[in-house]
Amino acid sequence: MASPTAIRTQGVIRRAAIELAIEKPVDDVTVDDIAERAGVSRRTVFNHFPSKYDVYLPPLVPYPQEALDAFATDVETPLATLIRDLLEARWRSADVDFDELCILMRIGGESSDLRMALKEAVDNQRAELVTASARRAGKPEDSLEVLALVGIVQAMERSAFQAVVARPGGNSAVVADTFDRVVDVWSKLSAEFIAGKP
């Protein structure tokens, strides 16, 4: 776990990089530009981030192990409840700056390298969810059942996130508070789907 000093330094570097990306295309921002704006050395930037594009990535919040284990093994609790609990636990432990995230979403569209770095970070984190889903389904990680379950969890998370990020004053706690409604909507849609309603 990073020290409070390291976390502060990373925040200063990240804010400097975002300021620069607002001023000019992210691909034109150099590590030297970031270091100068942050008031640190080039070496300090690389001590905290492996590449220029990693500077822009928000810290990804892992799924809490206890909630992930319950999702993978608890067959008594309804699946919708376990998904809600997993996602709530993740977002309650998050501290995401939504203003920075909105800027990242905008500048990410301008840089294929930044989009690739973000995709790689998300894919690495997705592996935990795939493994837990395979344990739950008792199927291989590349099975349709596992891929569908992972897709459902990620779609629910995206739904809550997008609903909150579109409104001013959004934060991680508001995302966590949204999962009850998201699970309710998905449950109703699933019931309609099963019943064959249009």
**Predicted confidence (pLDDT) per residue in 120-163, tens digit:** 877 877 899 999 999 999 999 999 999 999 999 999 988 888 88
Confidence band (pLDDT; 50, 70, 90) for 56?
confident
Rounded to an integer, the average pLDDT of 6-20 is 91
The architecture (CATH level 2) of 4-55 comes to Orthogonal Bundle (1.10)
Packing angle of the helix pair 172-195, 144-165 (nearest 10 deg): 130
Q: Which stretches of 90-195 are assigned E, i.e. beta strand?
A: none
Residue 4 confidence (pLDDT): 83
Asked if residue 176 has pLDDT above 60, the reply is yes
137 with 145: CB under 8 angstroms? yes
Burial class (CB in 10 A: 0-12, 13-18, 19+), 92: middle
- Please state the domain extents for the chain: 4-55, 65-195
% of residues, the chain, pLDDT over 70: 97
Tokens for 36, please give them.
Answer: 């100068």
The architecture (CATH level 2) of 65-195 comes to Orthogonal Bundle (1.10)
Asked if residue 71 has pLDDT above 60, the reply is yes
Q: What is the pTM of this model?
A: 0.76
Which amino acid is located at 131 in the chain?
A: T
Q: Mean pLDDT in the chain?
A: 87
Rounded to an integer, the average pLDDT of 61-90 is 92
Rounded to an integer, the average pLDDT of 76-92 is 92
Return the DSSP state at 26.
Answer: G
Which amino acid is located at 168 in the chain?
A: P
Structure-model confidence comparison of residues 158 and 96, the more confident one: 158
Nearest to 151 by CA among 175, 133, 125: 133
What separation in angstroms does the CA of 167 have from each of 103, 130, 143, 180?
14, 31, 37, 18
